[in-house]
Structure 1
Amino acid sequence: MAWFVMRLWNARLLGHAVKVTPESFPELHAEIIRIQQKLDYHRPINVYVADQVEGKVTITSLLGTRVLLIEGGWVVDLQAEGPAPLRFLLGNFIGFLKARHGHLATLVIILDHLKWTAYIDPWMLPYQRSAEYTRDHIGYLCAEDLDASLRVLSRLTVGKELAGSISPAGVLEQACRVDDSAMAHFAELFQASPHMINRYVDLVTYAAEANPAEFERYRADLTDNGQRFLRKLLTESPYRHAASGAPRQPAAGRS
């Protein structure tokens, strides 16, 4: 049944959305091929563009069918800021396929049908949150631009109109509050995705390891308060590994 539904959905998209090909969207298609080559991922992906997409972008990988659905206005907004934001987005989702984070999808569907998901969620949700961090890391490595990658996360959080007005120091201050809040940690336990604030800080601290020079530029641009909040996060929170120089656990091990 899942195979049939997936095939039916793919056929529906073929009739109601525009498939990305060298003829329909040559620039977007070229970027997708570029990211696939960078990640050494060569399996076929059916990429479609539609007017409205929940969450701006969705990806589904099930029983050999891989579908990436992107909101058209979202692509235009990202392309207007140069190639890096779009590469972060594509790297994030194609990285999902490369890392095989969807390989349990069929099992989850079966367990959901059997009403057993309540028993596996305590184990599945931490894995899904960890996978989200890994996808952000892959997206950043594809974009090769920390500021552009953080802008995409900001857009996903507050929208394009306000994303450029966000103060990094304010985000870091809020991250400190989240880190100190037992209730915030408890609330995250029931989510498949980590808090967006945590994703923002995790990406900043990952850059400290992946590209120390770029991290130092980010830190140098912060206000005094922003640098103080960042030091607190690096030394007193789960992000402290990047500041101490101690070996950090792999991204997929975080919850």
Structure 2
Amino acid sequence: MAVYIGGIWLMSYFAKSLITAHMLGHYVKVGPQQFPHLQQMVEESAAAIGLNEAPQAFIYNSGGMMNAFALKLVGRRRYIWLTSALIDADSDEQVRFVIGHEMAHHAAGHLDGGKHFLRLPARMVPFLGSAYSRACELTCDRAGSQLARDLSASRSALQMLACGSAKLNASMNPDAFQAQEQLVPPVAGFFIKIFATHPRTTRRVQALTEWYRGETTGVAVPLSASRA
């Protein structure tokens, strides 16, 4: 058993080392001398969420794919990857939400190896692992919105994952997009959901709106609330 666990650890370490080498050789490292406005967003979000050290952010050429990732590699260093398409399409306020979302994955321990090991038995239960993953995404959406302090930008940032058009960014209507959730066929929507690691984007916008409005606490928050 020890040999088996050791072999898995060694393969994991080698794979992470390869990713690190590729990242450092092909991606653009964000820092004080490289995209300082993005570095400031990262540092502010890390401090606000309680991380002792800000994750290292990288920008990479995504070939049109719009996304962002949080990950931990060799040396337990935290990283955030932002795709070039996302930066091109999103406003600064939307980027703040995305950075906050990924920061929350780190702060909540979603990527910690020890916690992954403890959750492993539960992940063997059919569909439970996917349900946990979807819950993590909704949690990080809320954290991202809090860190961005801009509900409108947060909702639009989520909608951009579906739209992906920089030209249409300013004219997007998150209310209309959220309303599409009511049109999803219940049975088909259920089967798609239980296999998915991420909630439907329409559902994410809806859930963030409901949470921000304070429907669970009875405290109403106007949708026009913006970053202070």
Q: TM-score, normalised by structure 1?
A: 0.71
Partner of 1:66: 78
Q: CA deviation at 1:166?
A: 4.2
Q: Distance in 1 between matches of 2:179 and 2:97?
A: 25
Partner of 1:124: 129
Pair 1:84-2:93 in alignment: yes
Give me the identity figure in percent.
Answer: 22
> What do the CA deviations read for 1:98-152 (whole angstroms, capped 9, x no partner)?
01112358857xx7xxxx9994452211000000100100010011111111111
Q: Distance in 2 between matches of 1:163 and 1:25?
A: 22
Q: CA deviation at 1:167?
A: 3.9
Pair 1:75-2:90 in alignment: no
Matches within 5 A, 1:1-255: 1-52=11-62, 54-62=65-73, 64-78=76-90, 81=91, 83-103=92-112, 107=116, 119-160=124-165, 161-178=167-184, 181-209=186-214, 212-215=220-223, 217=224
**Count of matched residue positions in the alignment of Structure 1 and Structure 2:** 207
My pick for the range that moved more, 56-65 or 11-20, is 56-65
Q: CA deviation at 1:72?
A: 2.8
Q: Distance in 1 between matches of 2:50 and 2:122?
A: 33
> What do the CA deviations read for 1:1-46 (whole angstroms, capped 9, x no partner)?
1112112211221111111111112111111001001111123523
Q: Distance in 2 between matches of 1:25 and 1:173?
A: 37
Name the CA shift for 1:76/1:55 in 2 (closer, same or farther; >3 Å): closer
> What do the CA deviations read for 1:80-112 (whole angstroms, capped 9, x no partner)?
x3x42111010000011101112358857xx7x
> What do the CA deviations read for 1:195-239 (whole angstroms, capped 9, x no partner)?
111001001111111973323x48xxxxxxxxxxxxxxxxxxxxx
For the residue of structure 1 that corresponds to 2:159, the secondary structure is helix
List gaps (5 residues or longer) in structure 1.
Answer: 219-255
The residue type equivalent to 2:222 in the other structure is E
RMSD: 2.8
List gaps (5 residues or longer) in structure 2.
Answer: 1-10
